[in-house]
Amino acid sequence: MRLTEVETPALLVDADVLEQNIAAMAQALPGGRLRPHVKAHKCTSLARQQAVAGHLGFTCATIRECEGMAAAGLGHDLLLANEVLDASRLGSLTAAGARVTVAVDSAETIDAAASGGVREVVIDVNVGLPRCGCAPQDAGQLADRARRAGLAVRGVMGYEGHVVGLVDAAERAERCGAAMELLLAAHADVGGELVSAGGTGTYAVNTWASEIQAGSYALMDTAYGRLGLPFEQAAFVLATVISRSPGWAVGDAGLKAFGMDKGNPSLGDGKVLFCSDEHVTVTPSRPVGDRLWLAPAHIDPTMACHERLYLFSGEDVVDIWPIDLRGW
């Protein structure tokens, strides 16, 4: 198939750029120093490429991602970096031979892990992002409770998500260090081999964590593109101009084709004015039938909008990969 034959809207991934991004990260964080986060692409075919590069442990955000990775033969070491109150599906994966570790931050989530058949946990610690995670000073008590419940505590996890997108590199590094001080204090009370943290924005400056949970680096988006990282934009949503006016044109990819929480997608040779349900309005105007290459502002939710990605090199589609880890 040629790119000109792809029906729009469609998610395209540049195979050469993807390979370069994976190789660059593997060189920076080889082997177990990186635990790629599959929520960024939700695609087992892409995860296999990361495994080929030497990364055999993966981070997941949903139970469905864990199930899909295990079914694809990629269940060597899965970390569900999220709390759940029903861990029975995770327990089934463990019983079937996958290694699944789940994050816990309360008595309730510890009890859910134990009753669901999970054998290993990490203590999730709040390091500054007001989301999941216990207070650092409570981590040791939770680890003790988990061990009393028969669980192995592998260590701690803390995500400096309030830091990873900061444009100023010095501020990003400084605030990452402050967040990791909290995590290391918790780890001193918890023990275990893992200090799991980080993301694409802090992969190079977070030297405290034993493993980094970066994911967006493989495909990239315009939010991370502002940071001057050594990764290029590999993923695009292709749209076709279906209507034109003297001052603008309208393409056939809108809100249902992009994650919009970080703003509009970008257009290299123009400007996106706004998106509506099925439409994107751009300037300058261009002929009906023209193709628009739109770079998402946030890659993770954009991937969840599409059923498949078209892997291309030059003008040729070289493969079609299902985005098979969507859902819950």
Among candidates 24, 39, 73, 34, which has minimal Cα distance to 55? 34
> pLDDT below 50 — which residues of the chain?
none
Neighbours of 33 (CB within 10 A): 17
pLDDT in tens, 126-143: 999 999 999 999 999 999
Q: What per-residue confidence (pLDDT) applies to 273?
A: 98
Q: What per-residue confidence (pLDDT) applies to 98?
A: 98
3-state secondary structure of 77: strand
End-to-end distance of the chain based on CA atoms, in angstroms?
32
Any idea what DSSP says for residue 37? Answer: B
Residues 269, 275, 279, CA angle at the centre, nearest 5°? 90
Task: Using CB atoms within 10 Å of the CB of residue 43, give its burial: 0 to 12 exposed, 13 to 18 middle, 19+ buried.
Answer: buried
3-state secondary structure of 298: strand
User: Which pair of structure tokens corresponds to residue 59?
Assistant: 């981070």
Q: What per-residue confidence (pLDDT) applies to 224?
A: 98
Q: What per-residue confidence (pLDDT) applies to 5?
A: 97
**Domains of the chain as residue ranges with CATH:** 3-11+231-322 (2.40.37.20), 15-218 (3.20.20.10)
Q: What per-residue confidence (pLDDT) applies to 303?
A: 98
Neighbours of 85 (CB within 10 A): 11
Paired strand residues for 10: 238
| Backbone torsion region of residue 251, taken as left when φ is above 0, otherwise alpha when ψ lies between -120 and 50, otherwise beta | beta
In angstroms, how far is CA 200 from the centroid of its own chain?
Answer: 9
Q: Rounded to whole angstroms, how far apart are CA atoms 234 and 149?
A: 45
Q: What per-residue confidence (pLDDT) applies to 203?
A: 98
Which run of H or of E encompasses 12?
strand 10-14
Amino acid making up residue 189? D
**Whether pTM exceeds 0.85:** yes
Q: Rounded to whole angstroms, how far apart are CA atoms 49 and 281?
A: 35
206-209 contacts, C-beta under 8 A, 24 or more apart: 206/160, 206/176, 206/180, 208/177, 208/180, 208/183, 208/184, 209/180, 209/183
Tracing tokens 């090199």 back to the chain, one arrives at: 313
Q: Rounded to whole angstroms, how far apart are CA atoms 171 and 42?
A: 31
